[in-house]
Amino acid sequence: MTVANQKGGVGKTTSTVNLAAALAMHGIRVLVIDLDPQGNASTALGVEHRTGTPSVYELMLGEIPLEEAAVTSTASPNLLCVPATIDLAGAEIELVSMVARESRLSQALADEHLDKLDVDYVLIDCPPSLGLLTVNALVAASEVLIPIQCEYYALEGLGQLLSNIDLVRSHLNTALHVSTILLTMYDGRTKLADQVTSEVRQHFGPTALRTVIPRSVKVSEAPGYSQTVLEYDPGSRGAMSYVDAAREIAEHGASGAYRAGGR
Ligand code: ADP
Ligand code: MG
């Protein structure tokens, strides 16, 4: 599942790591691919990502296999992460001239490698752009999860993301579909949040999860301690909402509703 939205600060990374932690807490084995040179997902999962660390960069160049790039997170023994170092910042340009530039990540995540790690779910955290890194993430996945922030301009740019997804589906990955919309940073005190929520539900129907992630200080504090909010404050509303959202995702997966044409 690729977590994408070319807007920055909408909750891609926060949702990736906390959904992954919630799934792992229930005994599901999850692999997080940090595909943002900032390495925020690596930080939140307590995984080293200094320059020189074997990372998603070497993985995409084909220099190391997945088994060597994946590290167990401090968050859970069921949670693995392929970190991103700042080296990835150059990849967007370096990839342009490479063979099979759009499917580098997909090849690295071939079933034979995933089987060795024995993972049930792979979550890919995208950078805030629609460049080659995000395209690689869209080619590697069957599902897209789009986090949408309950704020002004939330839906702006969404059309561009959706048409890119359509393009990737028709040319590179027929299995790709938007399976999940997650509303984030919901502030119940504002009318605006309700307006965005109802607009999104009108547009996306049941693809939008029933669970909405509230704006919560605990959620934003957790990465400062290299933790997910599930470790930092498991009883907080933020943590519980991510557990609920993960349950919805797992139920969808189990029901097969979103698996049409998937792996
Ligand atoms: P993205 O990966 O899309 O750029 P992030 O997940 O990094 O977005 O979130 C952007 C900022 O908002 C971060 O500082 C994060 O801690 C904060 N944030 C995300 N979700 C919440 C939330 N539910 N409540 C409060 N702050 C949040
Ligand atoms: Mg991010």
Q: How far is the CA of 64 from the centre of ligand 2 (A)?
A: 24
Domain ranges of the chain: 2-255
> Is 213 close to ligand 1, i.e. is its CB under 6 Å away?
yes
How would you write 184-208 as a 3-class SS string? Answer: ECECCCCHHHHHHHHHHHHHHHHHE
- 212-250: b or e for each residue (b if 16 or more CB lie within 10 Å)? bbbbbebbeebbeebbbbbbbbeebebbbbbbbbbeebb
Fold of 2-255: Rossmann fold (3.40.50)
Q: How far is the CA of 234 from the centre of ligand 1 (A)?
A: 17
> Is 16 close to ligand 1, i.e. is its CB under 6 Å away?
no
Q: What is the pLDDT of residue 84?
A: 98
Q: What is the pLDDT of residue 157?
A: 87
Residue nearest atom 24 in ligand 1 by C-alpha distance: 215
Q: What is the pTM of this model?
A: 0.96
Both structure tokens of 18: 């906390």
Q: Are 85 and 52 in contact (CB under 8 A)?
A: yes
pLDDT per position in the chain (263 positions), as tens? 999 999 999 999 999 999 999 999 999 999 999 999 999 999 999 999 999 999 999 999 999 999 999 999 999 999 999 999 999 999 989 999 999 999 999 999 999 999 999 999 999 999 999 999 999 999 999 999 999 999 888 888 899 999 999 999 999 999 999 999 999 999 989 999 999 999 999 999 999 999 999 999 999 999 999 999 999 999 999 999 999 999 999 998 776 554 443 33
Reduce the DSSP state of residue 219 to 3 states and report it. Answer: helix
Both structure tokens of 3: 């977590």
> Is 106 close to ligand 1, i.e. is its CB under 6 Å away?
no
Q: What is the pLDDT of residue 260?
A: 40
> Is 78 close to ligand 1, i.e. is its CB under 6 Å away?
no
Owner of token pair 């028709």:
170
> Is 12 close to ligand 1, i.e. is its CB under 6 Å away?
yes
Measured over the CA atoms of residue 175, residue 178, residue 180 and residue 184, the dihedral's sign is positive
